[in-house]
Structure 1
């Protein structure tokens, strides 16, 4: 087996492994913790919104910690006046072409968003609400509604919890959410979107035409 063939096999395996990875969003939200992670697999930045710090991880291994910098009034950077750029010839865009392309673009982007949302995988969904009313009877009524909702939607059982507070009026909540999108599905949906969109016409509309002249086709 030649070296080139072995390298090709390794590259193919790596490419397949990357495509099978998931773009992941994880959120842990409570009164004492507000934490967000967004990355590919277990690699990416995570942020602690209470401590105002962040961590960069690669395959779950911490690479770097970075604090969230605050700019004080004394540290406000001075604005640097840049020399004026030479004025370019203005371009004009066809309103008729925009009216023609806009419905197509909106339709395809809505279809793209729907397909992406349908491809999302809910890896974790846990929520807890602790609360009560001034009157214990009102708290009991709310708890009864919660039990009735569990009977109607048994899939919620184990995911959403309500803990009544019989002592006083209070409200607190916490949640753990993790959703993921397989990378190969996102790439495929993007290819389909690019195939369906009239990209040539969109490009022409974006650059416009020079006033008093025509662009070379």
Structure 2
């Protein structure tokens, strides 16, 4: 899963980091404060979160603590201008996985992000099941009624989002953000096409689950008998 979240309020630095990661094949969604980042992190599965400590709405460590309190094991890399040993220890004790002091070589940041993306622990919490459907990000497929169905990255993200909500309604904009991120241009019917393919795959695999369209509200993954 090569999409990460970057929470950094310095626009120029954020652009440089996004460009360096993009050159390494890693997509990046940029946020400039903790609260909008948290709203996205609730619905989008990121491989790594890179967080600056000095943010307009507080210390980035608070976001790490919030993630850990919610049971999210997503690897977190802290960025900071603080070089004191106790600051680094505080970050690691708060649940961060790595620490990088500013200024830093872009090559080093890319290498550290790559190392965190390779950690198998990142997928442990993100393997939800609902009904007879289980999503396996590690293997890039969903298992429907015992049948493994390979999924491209966009469809995998959509199913992750729907399965994690366990039958609750998910807004269209949330599914689009989960599948294509917050910066990529998406055609108006891209989500409809992806949902059509997923519905067909669920039916072909013999799943009892359906993706239902709740008019003006969004979409939900529900059993056929209670899909209405």
> Under a length normalisation based on structure 2, what TM-score does the superposition of the two structures give?
0.20
Higher RCO (CA 8 Å, separation ≥ 6 residues): 1
